[in-house]
Amino acid sequence: SSVASGTEYTGPKLYKEPSAKSNKHIIQNALAHCCLAGKVNEGQKKKILEVSMFA
């Protein structure tokens, strides 16, 4: 079951080169949707995102 060498991935682009010099938005997104995802982490997520907005 080998993949033909001529086929390329044509789906959505999953990685976008950051346009700004700050990684703040990327970090906030990772915290909200990966690290602190779910109802259990809702309170902690809100606190961290509020604090990070002022940093």
List the structure tokens of 54: 């002022």
The single-letter code of the amino acid at 21 is K
**Per-residue confidence (pLDDT) for residue 46, from 0 to 100:** 92
Q: Whole-angstrom Cα distance, residue 27 to residue 52? A: 9
The 10s digit of each residue's pLDDT in 5-53 is: 567 878 777 777 767 678 888 888 998 999 999 999 999 999 988 888 7
Q: What is the pTM of this model?
A: 0.51
The larger pLDDT score, comparing residue 5 to residue 1, is at 5
